[in-house]
Amino acid sequence: MDQQQSFNLNADFLGGYSAVFMKLVFVLIAVYLLVMVVNFLRDKFIHAEPSLKKEDMADLLLILNKLFYVAGFGFVIANIFQFLLSQIESNHRRMGAMSFQGDWDYLTFGIIILFVGLGFKAAYKALQKKRLE
């Protein structure tokens, strides 16, 4: 490491799991957009008849809703298990003293992801409601 470097901006503050999740979400959105563009070009140049069923955005919202729900609950449950297992390890010598100080970053990240998933679900319902009108 360079001796003149004072702060590493590339440090993994959450151990890298949140960065992996965000990269997965970006890859999923990019692949979905690529499929939408290919379908648009196929419909425009190969199949000339108009298609009335266009649910591309609703499907993306539904997929992101499920992904954010599963990931949010995964981060929350993993952080709770990590806390409980660290308490067992640290209280092995001195039984009875349970401290709630620890690393709760994954729990907060999981809760934020759950609320983003709720936002995707609300957007999906609003889109379906608008489509029915």
Q: How much of the chain, in percent, has pLDDT values that exceed 70?
A: 68
Using CA atoms, how far residue 20 sits from 24, 39, 119, 127, in Å, is 6, 28, 21, 29
Render pLDDT for 5-49 as a digit per residue (tens, 0 to 9): 555 544 555 566 667 777 888 888 888 888 888 887 777 777 766
Query: In the predicted model, is pLDDT for residue 60 greater than 80?
Result: yes
Q: How far apart are the first and last CA of the chain?
A: 61
Longest Cα–Cα distance in the chain: 75
Using CA atoms, how far residue 120 sits from 32, 64, 108, 113, 126, in Å, is 16, 7, 19, 11, 10
110: how many CB neighbours lie within 10 A of its CB? 24
pTM: 0.64
23: how many CB neighbours lie within 10 A of its CB? 10
Q: How far apart are CA 118 and CA 110, in angstroms?
A: 12
